Amino acid sequence: MKPTAMCLTLPASRLLRIIGLLLLLALLAACAPLPPRNPLATWVPSPNYDIRRPVLIVLHYTQQQSVQQSLDTLRSSNSMGPVSAHYLVGADGHIYQLVPDQWRAWQAGPGRWGTVTDLNSASIGIELDNDGATPFAQPQIDSLLRLLSDLTTRLHIPPTQIIGHEDLAPGRKDDPGPLFPWQQLAAAGYGRWPQGELVDPPAGFDPWMALGLVGYPLDDRTAAVRAFHHHFRGMQGDTLDDEDLRILYNLAQQIVGGG
């Protein structure tokens, strides 16, 4: 007795769908980007590598008149040279992504924050649709807070490591400016802010050392104080007063204490 041959018969329509799916998967595989390989070398891949890991988030304002104008600027070669950012948040709260998190966006430029000098490689840039003279809209801040929650969680960026463009480049930049609600961000757990009661610092306290400990570059101390005032006091001014000393002492104590 001969063995009976068994076969699986599929309806023609289902068979066509399966064939179509296989063709689509083959096409997607063909279009997937290959890892960079030097044709001069033999490719012997190692698993010991990772992607760019940002450690800071830098906030900007666009100083333009509309989201569309900002999108055009961030995606083109403008008169001052090409610029970009990872995200743009509209005044209505809509979030746009322009550059993948793993890639360098041309948003920070020359500057320094603490020991970090290559800010483009070490940061995520977020542009806020704001002309620099208007209070930031609440829907925009609400969306920014959602975005900060996502980025700090997903990319393991410390929540304290959120700064303004002016903070890293005082004298050269002034965004997001004195109208930006840093205290509201701090209440949600983002960025540094004085905690508890402010007290007079002890004798011998060095405010410049504290300002540098917070992260500010001190090449131009007047500009650094101006940036500090915009961020922590929402005001103009380029000389330190007693309230500044109390704030700096409080911030320094947080940092030294690991807060």
With respect to residue 96, please indicate whether it lies within any of the assigned structural domains. Answer: yes
pLDDT in tens, 240-249: 999 999 999 9
127, 166, 197, 243: which is the annotated catalytic residue?
127
Q: Are residues 69 and 183 in the same domain?
A: yes
pLDDT at residue 182, rounded to an integer: 98
Q: Are residues 175 and 63 in the same domain?
A: yes
* Distant-in-sequence, close-in-space partners of 47: CB < 8 Å, separation ≥ 6: none
CATH number, domain containing residue 163: 3.40.80.10
Q: Are residues 103 and 139 in the same domain?
A: yes
With respect to residue 195, please indicate whether it lies within any of the assigned structural domains. Answer: no
Query: Span 75-101, mean pLDDT?
Result: 90
Percent of the chain with pLDDT over 90: 75
With respect to residue 60, please indicate whether it lies within any of the assigned structural domains. Answer: yes
Q: Are residues 65 and 175 in the same domain?
A: yes
> What average pLDDT does the chain have?
89
Query: Span 8-32, mean pLDDT?
Result: 60
Percent of the chain with pLDDT over 70: 85
pLDDT at residue 5, rounded to an integer: 43
Judged against a pLDDT cut of 60, whether residue 185 lies above it is answered with yes
Judged against a pLDDT cut of 60, whether residue 251 lies above it is answered with yes
Note whether 56 and 116 are within 8 A (CB).
Answer: yes
Closest CA to 162 of 179, 173, 149: 149
pLDDT at residue 10, rounded to an integer: 53
With respect to residue 160, please indicate whether it lies within any of the assigned structural domains. Answer: yes
With respect to residue 230, please indicate whether it lies within any of the assigned structural domains. Answer: yes
pLDDT in tens, 191-242: 999 999 999 999 999 999 999 999 999 999 999 999 999 999 999 999 999 9
Q: Are residues 84 and 125 in the same domain?
A: yes
Choosing from 155, 187, 219, the residue where a domain stops is 187
Q: Are residues 145 and 241 in the same domain?
A: no
Judged against a pLDDT cut of 70, whether residue 180 lies above it is answered with yes
Q: Are residues 212 and 116 in the same domain?
A: no
Phi, psi of 154 (to 5 degrees): -75, -35
pLDDT at residue 4, rounded to an integer: 46
With respect to residue 217, please indicate whether it lies within any of the assigned structural domains. Answer: yes
Q: Judge whether 197 counts as a catalytic residue.
A: no
- Please count the structural domains in the chain: 2
pLDDT at residue 50, rounded to an integer: 76
- Rounded to two decimals, what is the model's pTM? 0.84
Judged against a pLDDT cut of 70, whether residue 252 lies above it is answered with yes
Q: Are residues 71 and 134 in the same domain?
A: yes
Closest CA to 199 of 157, 251, 125: 251
pLDDT at residue 8, rounded to an integer: 47
Angle between helices 221-232 and 242-256 (to 10 degrees): 80
Q: Are residues 238 and 165 in the same domain?
A: no
Q: Are residues 163 and 130 in the same domain?
A: yes
With respect to residue 102, please indicate whether it lies within any of the assigned structural domains. Answer: yes
pLDDT in tens, 122-164: 999 999 999 999 999 999 999 999 999 999 999 999 999 999 9
- Please give the structure tokens belonging to residue 146: 């959602």
pLDDT at residue 11, rounded to an integer: 65
Q: Provide the β-strand partners of residue 170.
A: 173
* Distant-in-sequence, close-in-space partners of 114: CB < 8 Å, separation ≥ 6: 215
Judged against a pLDDT cut of 90, whether residue 80 lies above it is answered with no
Per-range mean pLDDT, top range of 47-51, 101-105, 186-190: 186-190
Domain that holds residue 248: 207-256
Q: 7: pLDDT confidence band, cut at 50, 70 and 90?
A: very low
Q: Are residues 140 and 230 in the same domain?
A: no
pLDDT in tens, 22-37: 666 555 555 555 566 8
With respect to residue 167, please indicate whether it lies within any of the assigned structural domains. Answer: yes
Q: Are residues 178 and 77 in the same domain?
A: yes
